[in-house]
Amino acid sequence: MSLIDCTLNLAGLLLWLNWVSPGLDTVVRVSSVSLVGTLSRAADTARPRGKFLLCLLLLVGARALLYWYLGPDAGWTAHLQLGVVAVSFRSDYLGRMFLYSALGMSMTLAAFYLWLLFLSTIHPATPDKDPVQKLIRLHLGRLDHLPLFAKLLVPFLITGLAWLLLQPLFAQMGLVPGLKDRNQLLEQAAVVGAGGYLVWKYLVVGVLVLHVLNTYVYLGNHSFWTFINTTARRLLWPLGWLPLRVGKVDFAPLLLIAAIFLVTEFVVPQAFAWLSARLGF
């Protein structure tokens, strides 16, 4: 069921990208740098585009019914990961499955744009002639023009605000413990907001893995690989002073991946367990 949920989230993301593509077509059609570009050009002949939004809404509703129908027999409990907090939804409650489906899709879209924001932060001065960066800036719109410090605050603000809005609803539904006062809610929102940066770990690890693959296996000179290699080099820049190269083998990407795994899988959970005992998560 979890695999089905992930697949349907990706399908919803593709439907969303097709719906928002009209304003991007004039530039996107000049490059086939990504699947997004290919989908956008293919969708150019399909009118009206509102059907993609309708299909997305139908997908959100239909999968809620699917989870409600199949989930109890499969013994599946839905988990919504919001920063460092995981909220569980019993699949035998139809209303909760609709809420989970809507929130899960919203979080998928938010994660996608936070990924783009991270890439925009890593490449602040990349010229628009770079096709990948051009797509990123088109999708981000005004967010791409934010100052660096503001871009770095966005994950914290979005995730923290989401907890401020959703925690009272979750508490009313019995999904999370109630609160003593508003200060406790603000403290929880700060912790959850800090956990919002964890969404970037998948992107960073993915870029590093692709960089290592392209380093030792020739995959062509496509602009996509140029962008991946440039991004990886900027991520690895803080480790440049360490003697991590042995012959032609560079161990810096592996060290950074190991560090991310150590922090996100051991340090962060331990820290959150300590905080949750004090803040009543």
pLDDT tens-digit series, residues 10-62: 999 999 998 887 555 444 444 444 445 444 444 444 456 788 999 999 999 99
- The pLDDT value recorded for residue 106 is 96
Burial class of residue 161 in the structure, from the number of CB atoms within 10 Å of its CB (0-12 exposed, 13-18 middle, 19+ buried): middle
* C-beta neighbour count of 189 within 10 angstroms: 21
d(CA 138, CA 268): 34
**Listed residue (186, 104, 194) closest to 158, CA to CA:** 194
DSSP 175: S
Quick one: average pLDDT of 72-95? 91
The stretch 150-161 carries a mean pLDDT of 94
Q: With pLDDT > 70 as the criterion, what percentage of the chain qualifies?
A: 89
pLDDT of 215 strictly over 50: yes
DSSP secondary structure letters along 59-112: HHHHHHHHHHHHHHHHT-EEEEEETTEEEEEETT-HHHHHHHHHHHHHHHHHHH
pLDDT band at 217 (very low <50, low <70, confident <90, very high): confident
Contacts of 119 (CB under 8 A, 6+ apart): 133, 136, 203, 231
Closest CA to 211 of 195, 193, 229: 229
* CB 204 within 8 Å of CB 235: yes
CB 231 within 8 A of CB 212: no
Q: What is the DSSP string of 32-70?
A: --SHHHHHHHHGGG-S-THHHHHHHHHHHHHHHHHHHHH
Which pLDDT belongs to residue 135? 87
Answer yes or no: is pLDDT of 151 > 90: yes
Confidence at residue 22, expressed as pLDDT on a 0 to 100 scale: 52
State the alpha helices, DSSP H only, in 141-222: 148-172, 182-195, 199-216
pLDDT of residue 34: 47
Least confident of 51-65, 161-175, 236-250: 236-250
The pLDDT value given to residue 132: 85
Mean pLDDT within 120-132:
77
Whole-number pLDDT of residue 40: 47
The Cα–Cα gap between 93 and 124 comes to 46
Inform me whether the pLDDT recorded for 250 exceeds 90. Answer: no
Task: Over range 261-274, report the average pLDDT.
Answer: 90
Q: What residues contact 253, with CB distance under 8 A and at least 6 apart?
A: 208, 209, 211, 212, 232, 236
Q: Which two tokens stand for residue 154?
A: 């966005």
Question: Using an 8 Å Cβ cutoff, are 82 and 194 in contact?
Answer: no
Q: Report the distance separating Cα 188 and Cα 163, nearest Å.
A: 8
What is the reported pLDDT for 27?
44
User: Radius of gyration over alpha carbons of the chain, in Å?
Assistant: 21
- The amino acid at residue 64 is A
Q: Does pLDDT of 120 surpass 80?
A: yes
